[in-house]
């Protein structure tokens, strides 16, 4: 024992340290990548050529029969057509976000107020938004009242009951929800354009339209492309909003909803696997076409639109403010009414007596405290491991050279392009096989294992940090682990703040993973707790709206207190 010498990690040879830290930092992330990205893809490919029912150990190889069925089934094309509504909505959303981000990037009165109003809907969870707009669209609701006031009473429809308008109604809801996030991303990208470019253009006589088309658009072209890819991918795999609002009725069933029904309801996993791969192929094809189109240099003469009228700019800002706030105000006012007053009073008319007992009913009977507790646990634990996972992989891929590095980079990149919803049929099977279904671990694994974007945000931040800092620390006797802990992590704080905001809001608002993988009552989070109100309270809009307000208040308080940090985090993320 006297001859035994204890070695510190820093005492090991640099090559040995590198091998140890590369293996230890990549082992868990790569395992998650394989299990939750490539294993489901491989299984989808295999089972798409079989008649597997999801439970039997025996199945027959049927070749391309499942794909032939899809091609010959007109119902599948009808369902896929629903995605076109959401793709059109994505283009409208992009145009609106680009417009408002542009005008608010320059001198405008009450700029911070307008920014807050436009962005805030993004922070509200999808179930709350679904309930708000169910109330907004109901017969005699706010939309009908507004149309009557504008002299458009003859154009009133059953907004969620008529097949020709129901998809547009849900698309409008999705635009209302997501436009604010895209707005902040574009706003951050525009803010990174040097001001002297605008000054030089103004000296040369360029008008506002020319500055927008020839300076702003080319400068943020890549940001526009990435956002379009992400949002069109989301449009093709839309699930949450139509499921919450209509359950797929009246022609609103999406392709993804059809995939999940085919697998879980009809036990046709082979057919569902082929449908999932078709969805994935369409998403990748759209991404490739967008890259090809946006990659071309366009030369277009500005013929219309001189300088945008100041009056028109403020009118548009006032209109978008009303559009963003009206549904939230409607829910708040309705939550203070009795059941009869919801139908007897005007949509925004307050009752003589404010019924705060609706909040007690929603909070106590709805067991919302349990929902907030579970949400806090899911957000806290998931964020810790997402940050550790992302920073470790980014550190290795940015600072070390090793065999297979480029292959690993491309593996993470391709996985980030695969819509997570397109592989859910097999992910569900993997979660069940691991024995973590209906436990918090299912949520932890899925939130951590499918977050590839975090790695690239951290890699972008690391590219701005000089390698000489690492080398100086190592010369002074620090180990590679010490460099990661004392130099890399502190310098990654801006990127970490960005991920805390983006991922934290995403987990707080997420509905699908808790609903699909954690259905037990004791595991319900805020979104799934609120969703139960739909069946539990039926048409008791006063209680449902009280529940909606309860879920919105915490995120509103956080937004008010941390508004500057939230904007800065998202803007830094958009620039990267």
Q: How far apart are CA 142 and CA 148, in angstroms?
A: 10
Residue 475: pLDDT over 50 = yes
Query: Which range among 55-69, 424-438, 455-469 has the greatest average pLDDT?
Result: 424-438
Percent of the chain with pLDDT over 90: 34
Task: State residue 57 phi and psi, 5-degree precision.
Answer: -80, -15
CB atoms near residue 323 (< 10 Å): 16
Of the pLDDT bands very low, low, confident and very high (cuts 50, 70, 90), residue 567 is low
Residue 302: pLDDT over 60 = no
Q: How far apart are CA 321 and CA 312, in angstroms?
A: 14
Q: How far apart are CA 562 and CA 443, in angstroms?
A: 27
Task: Look up the pTM and report it.
Answer: 0.84
Residue-level pLDDT at 298: 41
Answer whether 13's CB lies under 8 Å from 474's CB. no
The runs of H, that is alpha helices, within 492-540 are 493-509, 512-517, 526-531, 533-536
Residue range 468-490: mean pLDDT, rounded: 89
Residue range 554-560: mean pLDDT, rounded: 84
Closest CA to 232 of 92, 98, 99, 86: 86
Residue-level pLDDT at 307: 45
The tokens describing 517, both together, are 């993988």
Q: How far apart are CA 224 and CA 185, in angstroms?
A: 9
- Largest distance between two CA atoms of the chain: 96
On average, the pLDDT of the chain sits at: 84
Residue range 297-305: mean pLDDT, rounded: 40
Residue 289 burial (CB < 10 Å; 0-12/13-18/19+)?
exposed
Answer whether 255's CB lies under 8 Å from 276's CB. no
Closest CA to 565 of 502, 492, 506: 502
Residue 280: pLDDT over 90 = no
Residue-level pLDDT at 445: 93
Query: Which range among 114-123, 290-299, 413-422, 529-538 has the greatest average pLDDT?
Result: 114-123
Of the pLDDT bands very low, low, confident and very high (cuts 50, 70, 90), residue 529 is very high
pLDDT single digits (tens) 173-182 = 999 999 998 8
pLDDT single digits (tens) 65-105 = 988 888 887 777 777 788 889 989 999 999 999 999 888 88
Answer whether 59's CB lies under 8 Å from 268's CB. no
Residue-level pLDDT at 382: 94
Residue-level pLDDT at 232: 80
Closest CA to 324 of 100, 151, 62, 485: 100
Answer whether 276's CB lies under 8 Å from 425's CB. yes
Q: How far apart are CA 367 and CA 521, in angstroms?
A: 10
Residue 443: pLDDT over 90 = yes
Q: How far apart are CA 292 and CA 303, in angstroms?
A: 26
Return the minimum-mean-pLDDT range out of 387-396, 494-503, 564-573.
Answer: 564-573
Residue 300: pLDDT over 50 = no
Percent of the chain with pLDDT over 70: 91
pLDDT single digits (tens) 113-123 = 998 899 989 98
Of the pLDDT bands very low, low, confident and very high (cuts 50, 70, 90), residue 137 is very high
Residue-level pLDDT at 516: 92
Return the minimum-mean-pLDDT range out of 259-273, 340-354, 410-424.
Answer: 410-424
Residue-level pLDDT at 439: 95
Residue-level pLDDT at 306: 41
pLDDT single digits (tens) 218-269 = 888 877 877 787 788 788 888 889 999 998 888 898 888 888 888 888 888 8
Residue 536: pLDDT over 50 = yes
Residue range 149-161: mean pLDDT, rounded: 87
Residue range 13-20: mean pLDDT, rounded: 85
Answer whether 558's CB lies under 8 Å from 377's CB. no
Residue 1: pLDDT over 50 = no
Residue-level pLDDT at 377: 96
Residue where the block lists tokens 């791969």: 277
Of the pLDDT bands very low, low, confident and very high (cuts 50, 70, 90), residue 305 is very low
Of 7 and 313, more confident? 313
Return the minimum-mean-pLDDT range out of 23-32, 211-220, 333-342, 566-575.
Answer: 566-575
Answer whether 240's CB lies under 8 Å from 340's CB. no
């Amino acid at each position: 024992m006297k001859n035994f010498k204890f070695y510190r990690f820093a005492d090991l040879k640099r090559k040995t340290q590198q091998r140890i830290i590369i293996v230890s930092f990549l082992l868990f992330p790569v395992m998650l990548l394989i299990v939750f990205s490539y294993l489901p893809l491989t299984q989808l490919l295999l089972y798409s050529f079989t008649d597997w029912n999801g439970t039997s150990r025996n199945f027959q190889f049927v070749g391309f029969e499942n794909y032939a069925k899809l091609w010959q089934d007109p119902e599948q094309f009808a369902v896929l057509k629903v995605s076109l509504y959401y793709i059109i909505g994505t283009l409208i959303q992009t145009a609106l976000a680009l417009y408002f981000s542009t005008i608010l990037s320059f001198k405008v009165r009450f700029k911070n107020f307008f920014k807050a109003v436009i962005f805030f809907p993004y922070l509200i969870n999808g179930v709350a938004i679904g309930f708000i707009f169910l109330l907004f669209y109901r017969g005699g609701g706010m939309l009908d009242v507004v149309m009557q006031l504008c002299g458009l009473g003859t154009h009133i429809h059953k907004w969620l009951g008529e097949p020709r308008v129901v998809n547009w109604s849900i698309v409008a809801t999705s635009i209302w929800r997501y436009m604010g996030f895209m707005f902040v991303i574009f706003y951050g990208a525009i803010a990174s354009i040097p001001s002297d470019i605008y000054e030089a253009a103004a000296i040369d006589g360029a008008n506002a339209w020319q500055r927008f088309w020839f300076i702003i658009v080319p400068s943020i072209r890549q940001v526009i492309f990435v956002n379009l890819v992400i949002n069109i991918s989301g449009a093709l795999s839309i699930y949450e909003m139509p499921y919450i609002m209509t359950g797929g009725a009246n022609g609103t069933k999406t392709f993804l909803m059809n995939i999940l029904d085919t697998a879980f309801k009809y036990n046709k996993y082979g057919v569902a696997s082929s449908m999932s791969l078709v969805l994935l192929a369409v998403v990748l094809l759209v991404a490739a076409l967008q890259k090809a189109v946006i990659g071309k240099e366009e030369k277009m003469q500005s013929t219309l639109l001189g300088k945008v009228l100041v009056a028109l700019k403020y009118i548009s800002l006032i209109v978008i403010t009303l559009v963003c706030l009206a549904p939230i105000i409607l829910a708040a006012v309705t939550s203070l009414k009795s059941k009869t007053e919801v139908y007897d009073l005007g949509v925004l008319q307050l009752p003589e007596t404010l019924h705060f007992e609706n909040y007690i009913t929603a909070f106590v009977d709805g067991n919302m405290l349990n929902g907030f507790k579970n949400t806090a646990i899911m957000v806290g634990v998931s964020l810790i491991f997402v940050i550790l996972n992302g920073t470790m992989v980014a550190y290795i891929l940015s600072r070390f050279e090793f065999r297979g590095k480029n292959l690993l980079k491309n593996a993470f990149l391709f996985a980030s392009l695969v819509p997570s919803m397109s592989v859910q049929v097999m992910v569900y099977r993997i979660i069940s096989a691991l024995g973590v279904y209906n436990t918090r671990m299912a949520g932890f694994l899925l939130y951590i294992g499918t977050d590839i974007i975090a790695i690239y945000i951290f890699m972008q931040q690391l590219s701005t940090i000089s390698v000489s800092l690492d080398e100086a620390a190592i010369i002074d006797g620090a180990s590679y682990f010490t460099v990661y802990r004392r130099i890399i992590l502190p310098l990654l704080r801006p990127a970490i703040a960005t991920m805390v905001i983006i991922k934290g809001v995403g987990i707080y608002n997420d509905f699908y993973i808790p609903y699909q993988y954690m259905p037990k009552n004791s595991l319900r989070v805020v979104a799934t707790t609120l969703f139960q109100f739909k069946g539990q309270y039926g048409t008791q809009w006063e209680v449902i709206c009280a529940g909606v307000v309860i879920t919105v208040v915490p995120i509103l308080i956080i937004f008010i207190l941390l508004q500057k940090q939230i904007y800065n985090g998202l803007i830094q993320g958009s620039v990267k």
